[in-house]
Structure 1
Amino acid sequence: MTPRPTPSLPTSRLRHIGYALLGDKFALFALLILAFYCLISVLAPLLSPYDINDAAFLDLLNAEIAPYWVDGDSRFWLGTDAQGRDLLTVILHGTRLSLTIGVMAVLLQVVIGVCVGLLAGYLGGRVDNFLMRCADIQLSFSTMMVAIIALAVFQAMFGHVAYQELAMLMLILVIGLAEWPIFARTIRASVLAEREKEYVDAARIIGVSKTRIMFRHIFPNTVSPVLVILSVQIANAIVAEAALSFLGLGMPPTQPSLGALISSGFSYLFAGSWWICVFPSVTLIVLIFVMNLLGDWLRDHLNPQLGGR
């Protein structure tokens, strides 16, 4: 009979975390805001006042109209941008794009990092040394530096038009491949602590394969630190995408993310049309703030060294 792993987050622990979340009004409020962001991202095509794919959506005659509550037009609650697009509509779709890029990039980091970390921690020896040296080399380079070089080289080789068509995929790949060592090193440290425990020895004795031991028995007991890093890394990925978009290496103007909206609106910040930059900036700041807040909260309650306080 295959031994069953001892879960790192038993039902009682999950119940404790649930009660702790309900008792922490600040963290609960942050979770509700994040849930709201996710909801409007999923429902962006339905909630948007205008169809972003409609040719009439871009109308230069409506450019730089102030928000409705600042002597603007009642058709545009948050005003319009320099291209005459309804700002509320492009912010909803921009939030959707930014969250999608952030989540997909971090999922790529998780897949690579978990596989590398499990192999390095469980097999040890030369495999461990080789994989960790690769991780060290990767960590020695700045994420933004790697992303800027990779995206600039891609544009130079294949042209600006090809880049605009593949911008989302390229951002996910570059951000995802740049920071997988963070997960790999964390998983490796957890595996080193788990591989000598009794349930792993029992699995080896009865002939369970190494792959099954790593992914079926050891990995579930390393989920806690992964969840903590996951929330923080999504926020970092969104910031990285926004920074790249601000530098002109992000999403094209026809598919604006929050970073692209901030970049296009920055030149109008002190020219009277402040809303073009301010509203996307506030949307991004609040999103990053609540995700970092939840990441800190998860670290406090899922880190066994802190006793799940």
Structure 2
Amino acid sequence: MTAPPQAAGAGPTPEAVVAGAPKKAIEGKSLGKIAWTRLKRDKVAMVGGIVVVLLILFAVAGLVLDRFLNVVGPNEFHQDLIDTEFGTLAPKGFFGGMSWEHPLGIEPVNGRDIFARVFAGAWISLLIAFLATVLSVVIGTVLGIVAGFFGGWADTIISRAMDVFLAFPLLVFAMALVGVIPDSAFGLSGEATRIAMLIFIIGFFNWPYIGRIVRGQTLSLREREFVDAARSMGARGPYILFKEILPNLVAPILVYSTLLIPTNILFESALSFLGVGINAPTATWGGMLSEASRIYSQPHFMLWPGLFIFVAVLAFNLFGDGLRDALDPRSR
């Protein structure tokens, strides 16, 4: 049976159109490109990421201008701007002495510029949070992947160590340890000693959180087909750990790191607020809150450092949540 003849004036058949159409190669997308496409669609996460980048630039600029160029002056007194006529040490002017020269006002007692102190203290708060997170991630990843992959006595020892660290009163221990450390130790002195000690305490005692996540993921990955294929080809344990399993853990590690940074920012601020962080007069966000808590009649003194802490924590949380959704293979 033959096909019916095409009617006069009728257009080309669909088969002819497809055959005559130019062939376009299908472009493949890597997992990174797919994740970036998903992340760009999440406007809230992108706003959080932009704020994170701005905070990092803000902290780097504060470090350069304060410590290397000495043009910020966070400890410079402005006693001429303090009103003492009625026996109160309050700044002159609108809302704590806000002006073009002092956009966030000045401190009510000694007249130090609040913007200069927030600007100069940003790099210390963010530096401690970043390096403590790196320390936690490195220790937690190594111990978690070893416990999950090898199991047995290694898993038992590491898991019980996680339980001990998780039950440890970290805040009390940090207050006790920082209080007894001298100003010069381990080849460091003064402010550098305090920064190194805070990084060690916050980072070393927080590794079990990410260690448990990595261990759980490793227990699942070690039973996958690509691990069995690597074993069948003669691959040994270290190769499987670092070439097969670890690349598949990058996404959860990266996401949890972005969520751990704001926790460390808050913890450093809490230690500085309790007086066991960075010594005065060095400016930190938590230290400024501690000084502001003694003067309740000047709300601007507490507002600005608290607002910067709030914005930093919120931005990292929003970006980390969006990054988790973007790296999730089950999301659309």
Give TM-score scaled by structure 2 length.
Answer: 0.78
Residues 259 and 66 (structure 1), Cα distance of their counterparts in 2 relative to 1, 3 Å cut: farther
Partners of 2:183 and 2:193 in 1: how far apart? 14
Residues 247 and 192 (structure 1), Cα distance of their counterparts in 2 relative to 1, 3 Å cut: same
CA deviation profile, 1:124-144 (whole Å, cap 9, x unmatched): 100111111101111112432
Residue 253 of structure 1, aligned match among 269, 276, 280: 280
| Pairing of 1:1-309 with structure 2 (within 5 A) | 11-45=29-63, 51=70, 57-62=76-81, 65=91, 72-81=98-107, 82-154=109-181, 164-268=191-295, 270-271=296-297, 273-304=298-329, 307-309=330-332
Q: For the Cα contact (< 8 Å) 1:242–1:258, is it kept in 2? A: yes
Unaligned residue ranges in structure 1 (runs of 5+): 1-9
Identity %: 30
Greater CA deviation, 244-253 or 273-282? 273-282
CA deviation profile, 1:144-194 (whole Å, cap 9, x unmatched): 233223223436998xx9665511111100000111011111111111111
Residues 22 and 289 (structure 1), Cα distance of their counterparts in 2 relative to 1, 3 Å cut: same
Partners of 2:182 and 2:99 in 1: how far apart? 39
Give TM-score scaled by structure 1 length.
Answer: 0.84
Cα-Cα RMSD:
2.9
Aligned to 2:8: none
Q: For the Cα contact (< 8 Å) 2:62–2:120, is it kept in 1? A: yes
Q: Give 1 or 2 for the bigger CA radius of gyration.
A: 2
Q: For the Cα contact (< 8 Å) 1:101–1:168, is it kept in 2? A: yes
Greater CA deviation, 77-86 or 223-232? 77-86
Q: For the Cα contact (< 8 Å) 2:72–2:120, is it kept in 1? A: no
Partners of 1:156 and 1:280 in 2: how far apart? 26
Partners of 2:111 and 2:195 in 1: how far apart? 24
What is the one-letter code of the residue matched to 2:106?
T
Q: For the Cα contact (< 8 Å) 1:34–1:287, is it kept in 2? A: yes
Residues 143 and 19 (structure 1), Cα distance of their counterparts in 2 relative to 1, 3 Å cut: same
How many residues end up aligned between the 2 structures? 293
Residues 11 and 83 (structure 1), Cα distance of their counterparts in 2 relative to 1, 3 Å cut: farther
Compute the displacement of 1:52 (Å): 6.3
Q: For the Cα contact (< 8 Å) 1:301–1:308, is it kept in 2? A: yes
What is the one-letter code of the residue matched to 2:269?
A
Compute the displacement of 1:15 (Å): 2.6
Q: For the Cα contact (< 8 Å) 1:68–1:78, is it kept in 2? A: no
CA deviation profile, 1:31-76 (whole Å, cap 9, x unmatched): 111111111111224567x936869834544556467776645421
